[in-house]
Chains A and B, each alone.
Chain A
Amino acid sequence: MNTYHGKTAYSGCAIGPIHVVETEDRPICLHPITNVREEITRLDDAVKMSQDQLQVLYDKAVGEIGEEDAEIFHMHQMLLEDEDYLDAIHLSITDNQWNAEYAVAQAGKDFAKMFADMDDEYMNARSSDILDITHRLIHTLLGKKKNSTALEIPSIIVAHDLTPSITMEFDKTKVLAFVMKKGSLQSHTAILARMMSIPCLVATHLDSLHNLNGKIALVDGAKGLFSVEPTQSMVDEANKQLALQKAQKEIELQFKGKESKTVDGKKISIFGNIGSVLDVESVIAHDGEGIGLFRSEFLYLGRTSYPTEEEQFDAYKKVLVKMKDKPVVVRTLDIGADKKVDYFNLESEDNPAMGYRAIRICLDRPEIFKTQLRALLRAAVYGNLSIMYPMIISVQEVRKIHSIVEEVAKELKGAGILYRIPKQGIMIETPAAVIISDLLAKEVDFFSIGTNDLTQYLLAIDRQNAKLDALCDTHHEAVLRSIELVCRNAEKENIWVGICGELGADTSLTQRFIRMGIQELSVAPPFILPLRKKVCESTAW
């Protein structure tokens, strides 16, 4: 048995035979031709055939990953019509009397280099599109039957890296998993795998792809492991996981596209929690109706200086555009406590959970807060954005925040920059906020209950202290009564209230939450569909 490590692009487990896809190219040979006209006809036919293939791929992609992501194949069709590219190939055939394959390979190389040399990251990435259409054209010219993507039995696809078009060609019902030697979490294969919920490893440390074909292997996405010829005990363990996965898939199929409505017709919003722009795909794949908690910390973590307004704006805008008109709730910076960042120069504290964190930092250092608010107000133009503020304990804090938002709006207006003031709500995660929720409800547009922190503060139990795990009863009556009180006070002021903590995904409480008046549940994406199932079986009265 051999085991290799990779990065998990989409988690999940798979067992099956390996199917290696060779994508490393053999060199295309130059051989002189005698009949130029015949060679030009060969080329023109190949271009026509390649165009038809791309149309088939586009139609397939629309069905599998949606119109927006399928657009890449339309773009390839347009590139394949480009006059300069085709002229260059024609010229090499007529003037140099090169064979069509060689002429295409050369043109592909030249045009790809042209884009790779440009001073623009986006355009650099287009050189791989040029190479993709070039390969397609050469394959068509060589008359290769594209057997490398035809699967007879369900298999684990192993390759160096796959182009978008090869990835798309597979019959996805027969792909158990993708294991790429190269590639990144952003590569097309990784994105597609997430959209289709197919386990996928990238940047896997394989020595060689030789002699792998046909061998049985196991992919463990949760651990990022790829094992060739695994032991029986590993297979048994994986089979258990597979059974769970299968049950989950069945629920997904049954409830995808359905409304989240109780038996007696009350509509509940089921949203996803995300921690980066990348996670949006997962919310869409699990049919989330919006994003109820977008943790903005990822913009600040893992770097050495503050993120700029532009960087933040780009990230928020991307998420809003991807979600189309669906609601997206961004939580402003929640740093401190267990999430530390060096360049904030925070002093170490004896009791960080009750210390200098989240909104307390933002109100103390308004320059950091204002940069984030400017980015948010500008991004709000591009979709259905709401903002929520963490760790609130008083009405004064909320008023102070609102006046800062007004100030930022005024500055943007003065500078002639497009903006919109989004709906603004607060996290209910301190006992103080629960008790004065009647007063807070008059100030804001919505409440989102953060049950993780609320539980730790209500029960006076440190979340990080493993010794107290037994005492930490997440169903504690104090927590549930707090939620009920918050719901009652929200209802009086006619604002909506949701739960974005882990308790929201606990289906043993769903019925009770709905009866309390919870209107929105925001959970990790894989919980969305099981939760919808539960909502559909519940009653509101």
Chain B
Amino acid sequence: MKEYTYVIQDEIGIHARPAGMIASTAKKFTSEIMLKFQDKEVKATKIMAVMKLGIKCNDTITITCKGDDECEACEALSHLIEKIL
């Protein structure tokens, strides 16, 4: 399993567009990709569930990837998140 933790820098937090980009990136991989915030955990492929977490600036999120392509998945998502959030 691969894990990646990040503190949100974006002023609005995880709004619709980044949630969508995370979901579409996560869908490219076969690994199970989860997004954890506080005590809640949702599949990163689900745009509405990710939005519903209401993640704001300065919140800490953790991405976990489990599966055959977990290394590639984790790398792709960390790149994306650092770029847009």
Binding site for B on A (CB under 8 A): 71, 74-75, 78-79, 81-85, 111, 114-115, 118-120, 122-123, 126, 129-130, 314, 317
Question: How far does the Cβ of B60 sit from chain A's closest Cβ, in whole Å?
Answer: 18
Residue of A nearest to B52 (CB): A114
Known pairs A78-B47, A123-B51, A130-B48 / 5 extra A-B pairs, C-beta < 8 Å: A75-B20, A85-B48, A115-B52, A123-B54, A126-B51
| Chain B hits for A81, CB < 8 A | 23, 47
- Known contacts A83-B43, A118-B54, A75 near B16 by CB under 8 Å: yes
B66 in the interface (beta carbon within 8 A): no
Question: How far does the Cβ of B74 sit from chain A's closest Cβ, in whole Å?
Answer: 21
Across the interface, do B48 and A82 meet the contact criterion of CB distance under 8 Å? yes
Across the interface, do A82 and B46 meet the contact criterion of CB distance under 8 Å? yes
Question: How far does the Cβ of B41 sit from chain A's closest Cβ, in whole Å?
Answer: 14
Residue of A nearest to B23 (CB): A78
| Chain B hits for A84, CB < 8 A | 46, 48-49
| Chain B hits for A114, CB < 8 A | 48, 52
Binding site for A on B (CB under 8 A): 11-12, 15-17, 19-20, 23-24, 43, 45-49, 51-52, 54, 56
Question: How far does the Cβ of B16 sit from chain A's closest Cβ, in whole Å?
Answer: 5
Bound together, the chains give a CA A81 to CA B47 distance in angstroms of: 8
- Known contacts A118-B54, A122-B15, A111 near B20 by CB under 8 Å: no
Across the interface, do B20 and A78 meet the contact criterion of CB distance under 8 Å? yes
| Chain A hits for B12, CB < 8 A | 122
- Known contacts A82-B47, A83-B46, A75 near B52 by CB under 8 Å: no
Q: What are 25 A-B contacts defined by CB distance under 8 Å?
A: A71-B17, A75-B16, A75-B17, A78-B20, A78-B23, A78-B47, A79-B16, A81-B23, A81-B47, A82-B23, A82-B46, A82-B47, A82-B48, A83-B43, A83-B46, A84-B46, A84-B48, A84-B49, A111-B48, A114-B52, A118-B54, A120-B54, A123-B52, A123-B54, A126-B16
| Chain B hits for A123, CB < 8 A | 15, 51-52, 54
Bound together, the chains give a CA A96 to CA B45 distance in angstroms of: 26
| Chain A hits for B23, CB < 8 A | 78, 81-82
Across the interface, do B24 and A78 meet the contact criterion of CB distance under 8 Å? yes
Residue of A nearest to B56 (CB): A120
Residue of B nearest to A80 (CB): B47
| Chain A hits for B52, CB < 8 A | 114-115, 118, 123
